[in-house]
Structure 1
Amino acid sequence: MNIREANKLDYPELRKIYLESRRKNFHWAASEEMTLNDFDNDTIDEHIIVAEEDNHLLGFASLYLPDNFIHNLFINPNYFGKGIGGQLLNASIEKMNKPLRLKCVSENHKALKFYEKNGWKKVIEEGEKEKYWVMIYE
């Protein structure tokens, strides 16, 4: 598996991964409101890294480098449980300066367990309509 910076040629596949992963896993969200354009809107000014194997994109992370913040980490649903998220997370940590932060929706129990297993700590739960945990990695 190769981790590299994304380029514009990756975007059509990244849009699909973002949409399919959210529709499959975000049981608390209205999947009918999700679109392919969400990827572009949700990654403005972010540094994007991808995991690929045999010229096939498996997942991505989008990072807001000025704040050492992981904004998105998504895996193609067909490749869950294969260590891709951990490799993207490690590459993200290497790209930024500690402490790093991220926010994880409180309803996303799988993701919360994943981050905690990888050394992230819950700091505070915030949000009004949708609750999320601010997490830190030191």
Structure 2
Amino acid sequence: MNKNITIRPFAESDRERLREIYLLCRIQAFYWCDSTQFKLEDFEAHIIGEQIHVAMYGAVIAGFISVWAIDSFIHHLYVEPAYRAGGIGKALLALAISMYPKPLTLKCLVKNELAINFYKRQGWQVIENGSDVLGDYYLMEYR
């Protein structure tokens, strides 16, 4: 792991920055959706009951992962665009793999090809197809 990257548990002081990252990344990743439907407040609604881990690049919050621990389900993994390709996503996944029982699962929207390719490079496999309000998705698994 890059020595500039550290991962720590969520602190309340992280909330505003994570809200911003969540909104920005969703607007960029889900380009086919009407982005006016995405709001800063979505962060709170979408992470209820989840364990959140924050990735720091030096002193900067660069991304986060949230996990529904009961099912070892990765609900969100977002990295600030300026910090992508620096190992932060890999570090967040590695933390989840080390902390939660296997198999781990996640959903990735079919149109989000960059993310699908990222997960496949990290050893994740598509095990099911589904559909929700944002479109078709793959259920992916890591054993």
2:61 aligned with 1:57: yes
Amino acid at match of 1:136: E
Please name the residue that 1:132 is paired with.
Answer: 137
TM-score (norm 2): 0.93
51-60 or 38-47, which moves further after superposition?
51-60
Deviations 1:49-81 (A, max 9, x none): 011023210000000000010000000111111
Gaps of 5+ in 1: none
Partner-residue secondary structure (3-state), 1:97: coil
Other structure's SS at 2:8 match? strand
Match in the other structure for 2:124: 120
Q: Aligned residue pairs: how many?
A: 138
Q: CA RMSD for the aligned pairs?
A: 1.0
Partner of 1:5: 9
Provide TM-score, normalisation by structure 1. Answer: 0.96
Which structure 2 residues correspond to residues 1-138 of structure 1 after superposition, within 5 A? 1-127=5-131, 130-138=135-143
* Structure 2 CA distance for aligned equivalents of residues 30 and 125 of structure 1: 23
Amino acid at match of 2:101: N
Shift of 1:39: 0.7
Query: Unpaired segments of 5 or more residues in structure 2?
Result: none
Tell me how far 1:30 sits from its aligned partner. Answer: 1.3
Runs of 4+ in structure 1 over 6 Å off: none
Work out the percentage of aligned pairs sharing the same amino acid: 37
| Distance across 1 between alignment mates of 2:35 and 2:66 | 21
Which amino acid in 2 is paired with 1:62? S
